[in-house]
Amino acid sequence: MDSLTSFANGLNLRARLAYAGGVCGRWLMDHNSDKSIWFHLLGKGKGWVHTPAWQTPLELEDGDLILFMPHAARHFLSYSRDHLPSDMTAASTTNWEEGEAGFVCGEFELGMPQSLSCLWRALPAEIVIRKSRAGASLARLIEIVIGESSGRRFGSDSVVERLCDSLFVLVVRHCIEENLVHQGVFAAMQDRRLATVLDLMHREPWQPWTIATLCSRGGMSKTVLSEKFAALLGTSPIDYLGSWRMQIAARWLKESGMTIERVAERCGYDSAPAFSKAFKRSFGVSPGAYRRDLK
């Protein structure tokens, strides 16, 4: 198992489909969030992205994919390069065939506190993948998603959501292979020895990892390991492990069958009170309060 696979498996990010269909008229899409990754796949027609990140609106064409990370500037998608509607009153949603443009839109909910946003900030705030640059695997997935969305067969929305689950890993792979990440966990994965250490943390966060053990498994001295983590991730190995445990704890707390005691155990804490203290330090609320807020 490689470090990106164990990372993705640990978080178990699931796509939530917001819309799949056609749009007509003076349409506007306003999907902004500081805790979710939003994605928009243009299946037909054209659209324009309005954001202060670029001097002029960005044109999207058939087969283009764009993702907005939680740290992206406030942005909108519109029917026009020159006009940005204030709302959707002059627009209508319709089926794929009748739409002037067709979209598949959704989000990956991260549910993270700002203190843990370092895991994502190393990725570009706006990730644009043109159809011609998607690569074989991502291009095929995009084609299947568009075909399933436009066909509207039984269970299409469910199928599209599960297909989009794979988007995150393929997009991160694209960013790595296109040399778009230079800092953070995804850049660290490109270092063979760091990738070994990260895979251990991601795959078995409940283990009582120590610097000595990680160094031995990664084939590095304590100095080299600490320096590499500081340079690429801006933190120490143990602090990163703590942040990772909080990320997956937040996911496990969403599962109805998981008790707080069980989550604490799976995150490597000796007791529920110790886990609760660490969780509140990261999220600002206790695990119980966090779980109640999800309902």
How buried is residue 154: exposed, middle or buried, by Cβ count under 10 Å (0-12/13-18/19+)? Answer: exposed
Q: What is the pLDDT of residue 112?
A: 60
Under 8 Å between Cβ of 33 and 106? no
Separation of alpha carbons 42 and 241, rounded Å: 37
Q: What mean pLDDT is predicted for residues 21-31?
A: 94
pLDDT tens sequence across 238-252: 999 998 898 888 888
Q: Is the pLDDT of residue 186 over 80?
A: yes
Q: What mean pLDDT is predicted for residues 216-227?
A: 95
Separation of alpha carbons 95 and 176, rounded Å: 36
Q: What mean pLDDT is predicted for residues 206-216?
A: 94
Separation of alpha carbons 125 and 84, rounded Å: 21
Two tokens, residue 56: 């002029």
Q: What is the pLDDT of residue 144?
A: 94
Q: Is the pLDDT of residue 12 over 60?
A: yes
Q: Is the pLDDT of residue 196 over 70?
A: yes
Q: Is the pLDDT of residue 45 over 70?
A: yes
Q: Is the CATH code 1.10.10.60 the one for domain 191-294?
A: yes
Q: What is the pLDDT of residue 9?
A: 85
- Look over the chain and give the mean of its residue pLDDT values, rounded to a whole number: 90
Q: What is the pLDDT of residue 121?
A: 81
Q: What is the pLDDT of residue 111?
A: 63
Q: What is the pLDDT of residue 126?
A: 95
Separation of alpha carbons 184 and 154, rounded Å: 41
- The residue ranges of every structural domain in the chain are 3-177, 191-294
- Confidence grade of residue 220 (pLDDT, cut at 50, 70, 90): very high
The CATH code of domain 3-177 reads: 2.60.120
Q: What mean pLDDT is predicted for residues 28-56?
A: 93
119-123, 170-174, 237-241, range with the lowest pLDDT: 119-123
Q: What percent of the chain has pLDDT over 90?
A: 61
DSSP string, 96-144: TTT-SEEEEEEEEE----GGGTHHHHTS-SEEEE-GGGS-HHHHHHHHH
